[in-house]
Amino acid sequence: MKNYVIASLVLMAASSAAFGAGNAAAGKEKNSMCAGCHGIPGYRTAYPETYQVPKLGGQHAQYIFDALKEYKKGDRKHATMRAIAAGLSEQDMSDLAAYYAGGQ
């Protein structure tokens, strides 16, 4: 049990170190590609299939950061999100995550 707790703490620390500190004000300046879909309450998109676009405001910053990294790596398959994430640096991802975690 003790080893499990230690391993969990190490993983959490490594994850936080990878995330870094985001700047919400900078994220606000970088969100133009996001706001077109995620900034419209109840928005549904028709590409690549019809689905409701998830709300980002108030989501945990680490979740947003991790999701963007997964889109960039190709681990998540939404074509539009992959294209957007491809042009983001890790700092951009951290800034956007901080902005949306603030409830925007």
User: Would you tell me which CATH number, out of the four given (1.10.760.10, 1.25.40.10, 3.20.20.70, 1.10.3980.10), belongs to the domain 21-101?
Assistant: 1.10.760.10
Give the pLDDT confidence score for residue 8 in this predicted structure: 43
- pLDDT for the residue numbered 11: 45
Total-model pTM: 0.76
Over the stretch 6-57, which tens digit does the pLDDT of each residue have? Answer: 444 444 444 444 557 899 999 999 999 999 888 888 888 877 677 788 889 9
At residue 13, the pLDDT reads 44
Ramachandran quadrant class, 43 (left: phi over 0; alpha: psi -120 to 50; beta: rest): beta
Q: Which residue, 22, 19, 17, 18, is CA-closest to 99?
A: 22
Task: Give the span between the Cα atoms of 1 and 19, in whole angstroms.
Answer: 27
The pLDDT value given to residue 19:
57
Q: What is the pLDDT of residue 87?
A: 96
* Structure confidence by residue, pLDDT tens digits, 52-101: 888 899 999 999 999 999 999 999 988 999 999 999 999 999 999 999 99
